[in-house]
Amino acid sequence: MKAMELSCKENQAVLTLNKEAVIPVREKGQLLIKVAAAAVNRTDLVAKETGNLPKGNAILGVEVSGIVVESDTDLFPCGSRVMGLVNGGGYAEYVVMNVGNAMPLSDQLTFEEGAAIPEVFLTAYQTLFWLGNLTTAQTVLIHAGASGVGTAAIQLAKQLSSAKIAVTASSAEKLALCRKLGADSLINYREEAFSQKIIEETGGRGADLILDFIGASYWEQNLASIAVDGYLILIGILGGAIVKDVNLMTLLQKRITVKGTLLTPRSDAYKAKLTKEFVARTNKLFAAGRLKPIIDSVFQLENVENAHRYMESNKNKGKIILTVN
């Protein structure tokens, strides 16, 4: 099969096409998938840079869509359209996927759309509902609202909770996308302090849940924005990792919960449980078009290095997809 494999060229990690890669061998409880599309994730860039490969797999890629070609379960017989997380290996013609991670791909969605769903929607779902207690929240603040996880989180909060949804983004264009997806309150963080706006708009109460990808540079404003008994869920540190002078008394007085999380390193069992609940609550919403994967751009698998450079430039709104023909 063909696959984009990681190799070293003049001391630099690069992805090169191998047309003779070995088709992975399915174990019991796994599906063999003929890949139609895969998505690019930041974790792929980190793996390429550091050489820390998921499960030692020289083929990157943690989410795909495609057609089942080998199976031992009636849930996903051969010919089924599926999407889901994989433990590496997605940048290829074939990949194995644990049955627990497989999700049915509705006929209403294209394969490109299917590949754009698993990582960002599962991350957003886990963060909002399993970690962030969204069900009881009056107000949720979603930073980087136009990002992959941001666009998924806005839609999930809109469809599955009654919380007021506030978002931050850096441009009017990005905020317009957030509005379209269901955001109630739009904050251009370049033009105003988001904490002040959140406090104003909630009558001094603050946000019950904050979903943050930024980290250090937002810490002070996040703590000022958060309500008593609020949750701050950290899923990225694009704004730096080191916070100077953290005042623990604020955590005590406001009874704040801060949780850090990453989805990719979690166990197969955890991902399977999350996938199962997610499918049960969202399958019909995707089929009805009430939840929509947001695709920024589509590259051919062979052009994956261009797709990586594009992600590094931070210009994308929504997912970057690779198609495998």
Which residues here bind a copy of itself, judged by CB under 8 A? 215-216, 219, 234-237, 241-262, 265-266
Q: How far is the CB of 78 from a copy of itself (least distance, A)?
A: 37
Identify which of residues 73 and 133 has a Cβ nearer to a copy of itself in the complex. 133
Q: How far is the CB of 43 from a copy of itself (least distance, A)?
A: 12
The pair of structure tokens assigned to 293 is 């994967």
Q: How far is the CB of 270 from a copy of itself (least distance, A)?
A: 10
Q: How far is the CB of 264 from a copy of itself (least distance, A)?
A: 11
Identify which of residues 104 and 239 has a Cβ nearer to a copy of itself in the complex. 239
Identify which of residues 242 and 280 has a Cβ nearer to a copy of itself in the complex. 242
Q: Which residues, 6 or more positions from 209, have their beta carbon under 8 angstroms from its beta carbon?
A: 128, 132, 133, 134, 137, 139, 140, 141, 163, 230, 231, 233
73 in Cβ contact with 98 (< 8 Å)? no
Q: How far is the CB of 267 from a copy of itself (least distance, A)?
A: 10
Q: What DSSP character marks residue 223? A: H
Identify which of residues 212 and 296 has a Cβ nearer to a copy of itself in the complex. 212
Q: How far is the CB of 265 from a copy of itself (least distance, A)?
A: 8
Beta-ladder partners of 6: 15
In whole angstroms, how large is the CA radius of gyration of the chain? 20
Q: How far apart are CA 296 and CA 306, in angstroms?
A: 14
Identify which of residues 11 and 267 has a Cβ nearer to a copy of itself in the complex. 267
Beta carbons within 10 angstroms of residue 53's beta carbon: 14
287 in Cβ contact with 312 (< 8 Å)? no
Q: How far is the CB of 250 from a copy of itself (least distance, A)?
A: 8
The pair of structure tokens assigned to 254 is 């406001």
Question: Regarding beta strands 30-39 and 319-323, do their DSSP bridges make them parallel or antiparallel, or are they unpaired?
Answer: antiparallel
Q: Name the phi and psi angles at 165, rounded to 5.
A: -110, 115
Q: How far apart are CA 41 and CA 65, in angstroms?
A: 15
148 in Cβ contact with 113 (< 8 Å)? no
Identify which of residues 9 and 244 has a Cβ nearer to a copy of itself in the complex. 244
Identify which of residues 88 and 132 has a Cβ nearer to a copy of itself in the complex. 132
Identify which of residues 79 and 265 has a Cβ nearer to a copy of itself in the complex. 265
Q: How far apart are CA 280 and CA 238, in angstroms?
A: 32
Q: How far apart are CA 227 and CA 242, in angstroms?
A: 23
The pair of structure tokens assigned to 210 is 């904050």
Q: How far is the CB of 236 from a copy of itself (least distance, A)?
A: 8
